[in-house]
Chain A
């Protein structure tokens, strides 16, 4: 639609061009000031051992080349947080599968779907800080809801959920699945409602069974939704921070619950190693970029559209 010859612009088109640009100026300027410039600044900072003092000159006087990155790759504590972050990602497929099953249930002709949908969605809109506080309390060793239930049912005291290097990760994953489940349900439900019924009827005529219909119609036609959930939750999954800060004491026992962003936060705002923290943040950005790019590259092979 935009294929007007660019060299021969009428006065009116020029006016439109000017106003069009003025109207998008605010977000564009905001992008330069609060995104682009900070990224350049982060790259510069990551090449220094700056602690924030004496301004820009002070920063450049602490120039150290790629030292931070070299140090980072040998930093076992950093790699531990990378591993933990990746382990937390297990919650993503779990949430997606649960979300799909529940959405398929809601897509049937049953009463009260809207109320049910709302109930599953309430955790999503709840304050992350508040529900993190709540779940830390649910997981409390002595008085928490979970261990009280376990004690009542089995007579034995439940485990120390947040006091064990493995269980703390399991606990965090359960919590994150609970928090995010509503979103995948809503997205999958919308996707299911978008699939023309005629597809299933045609399959029925061909004698396809339930599993075949699911595998050959439902899953492929939901693939754009699956792709969307995957991309967005992966981007979010690499940035987990609040849950860790609120639910654990300084990253949990043996730093077992700490994520990349939590480590970065500590380095930047507790020990003021701004250079080192910037290096971590850029490695994180590169990881997120690669994963997202990979997602978009691979999607051609599995994401189908209705047409």
Chain B
């Protein structure tokens, strides 16, 4: 494409007219960004407000006085804590086992030769199109029959078999690694699993990390599957808990508490996003170009 050298030529000429346009565009983009983030800031602010201020109907975004107690109140609710713990109990096995099965499958799809490889891969890829709504009823029947609906297993076991989008991305990532490496390993008599574990896995570590981060967020924010499969309240994951908070405390107009609970529920994904935003955004951007 030879675009680097062209870039240098183009960047050298920025006319005054272009400059003015850039300034206007910048201001508009900033305004838009404020509109985007404002509801979230308002959410945080509401969590610090008194009930009187919330129900006063005046446009005062800054809490007066600041009330910090709602966060303590939320963290003292037994079902909130159990919601966090349940979510974590789903995250750990799924990311460890599912991350492993997905990486291994991606390696096989990218670097090994076997019959029906492309057919299997396309079959897996096509599942992205299948609405969860179609499989949720049979899965519910299945999990009920297996007496899993009183445990977290319905959220853990299926995911341990691997994640199609992770396989897809890792396969894409591996395709940039030359096949010679594979051939060399074969010639040296290195076993296939060892080739994966000792040569290719280290090479795709950062891609695996990005995908696991995205998957973590997906599990953390998942609501539909937990709300269907988890019958007993003791097993509810965090999202189900905050939704029940919303239903319960809205009657008492305790919006500060609802917002505080929602803010806490959003913190892990937001923090992760800010830590890994470059790779996360890259990975999202690549999906559209490939």
Question: A residues near B, CB below 8 A?
Answer: 2, 4, 6, 12-13, 15-21, 23-24, 26-31, 33-35, 37-39, 41-42, 45, 52, 55, 102, 105-106, 108-112, 114, 116-123, 125-131, 133-138, 142-143, 145, 148-149, 151-152, 178, 181-183, 186-187, 189-191, 194, 196-198, 201, 224-225, 228-229, 235, 238-239, 241-242, 245-246, 260-261, 264-265, 268-269, 274, 277-278, 281-282, 284-285, 288-289, 292, 306
- Report how far A110 CA is from B11 CA in the complex, Å: 12
- Of chain B, the residue at the smallest CB distance from A138 is B39
Q: Which residues of B contact A197 (CB under 8 A)?
A: 3, 6-7, 10
- B26 A24 Cβ-Cβ under 8 A: no
- Report how far A53 CA is from B29 CA in the complex, Å: 57
- A20 B39 Cβ-Cβ under 8 A: no
- B221 A35 Cβ-Cβ under 8 A: no
Say yes or no: is B78 at the interface (Cβ < 8 Å to chain A): no
Other than A122-B40, A127-B262, A268-B136, give 5 A-B pairs with Cβ distance below 8 A: A35-B135, A102-B29, A126-B266, A201-B10, A281-B136
Contact for A246 among B139, B246, B287, CB less than 8 A: B246
Q: Which residues of B contact A12 (CB under 8 A)?
A: 186
- B134 A38 Cβ-Cβ under 8 A: yes
- Listed by A's residue number, 15 A-B pairs whose Cβ atoms lie within 8 Å are A17-B114, A20-B192, A27-B102, A30-B162, A35-B127, A38-B138, A39-B134, A109-B22, A114-B278, A127-B266, A131-B39, A133-B262, A190-B288, A274-B141, A285-B133
- B281 A186 Cβ-Cβ under 8 A: yes
Number of residues in B with C-beta < 8 Å to the partner? 105
Which applies to chain B's interface (DSSP): helix, strand, loop or mixed?
helix
Q: Which residues of A contact B280 (CB under 8 A)?
A: 125
- Report how far A37 CA is from B43 CA in the complex, Å: 43
- B141 A52 Cβ-Cβ under 8 A: yes
- B288 A45 Cβ-Cβ under 8 A: no
B50-58, B64-72, B88-96, B204-212 - interface stretch: B50-58
A-B pairs with CB below 8 Å: how many? 306
Q: Known contacts A28-B124, A137-B46; decide if A23 and B108 are in contact (CB<8 Å).
A: yes
Most buried by A among B55, B167, B273, B278: B273
- A190 B285 Cβ-Cβ under 8 A: yes
Nearest CB of B to A4, in Å? 7
Contact for B105 among A27, A39, A135, A261, CB less than 8 A: A27
- B161 A102 Cβ-Cβ under 8 A: no
- A120 B105 Cβ-Cβ under 8 A: no
- A130 B265 Cβ-Cβ under 8 A: yes
- Of chain A, the residue at the smallest CB distance from B107 is A23
Q: Known contacts A23-B112, A292-B129; decide if A201 and B33 are in contact (CB<8 Å).
A: no
- Of chain A, the residue at the smallest CB distance from B7 is A197
Interface residues of B in 155-181 (CB under 8 A from A): 158, 160-162, 164, 167
Q: Which residues of B contact A183 (CB under 8 A)?
A: 284
- A126 B243 Cβ-Cβ under 8 A: no
- B1 A142 Cβ-Cβ under 8 A: no
| Per-residue interface assignment for chain B, residues 1 to 45, with 1 indicating a CB less than 8 Å from any chain A CB and 0 otherwise | 111001100110010000001100110111011001101101100
- A45 B137 Cβ-Cβ under 8 A: yes
- A281 B10 Cβ-Cβ under 8 A: no
- Report how far A151 CA is from B36 CA in the complex, Å: 21
- Report how far A126 CA is from B273 CA in the complex, Å: 10
Contact for B273 among A122, A186, A189, CB less than 8 A: A122
Say yes or no: is B113 at the interface (Cβ < 8 Å to chain A): yes
- B40 A196 Cβ-Cβ under 8 A: no
- A129 B223 Cβ-Cβ under 8 A: yes
Nearest CB of B to A20, in Å? 4
- A26 B105 Cβ-Cβ under 8 A: yes
- Report how far A188 CA is from B48 CA in the complex, Å: 37
Interface residues of B in 93-120 (CB under 8 A from A): 101-102, 104-105, 107-109, 112-115, 117, 120
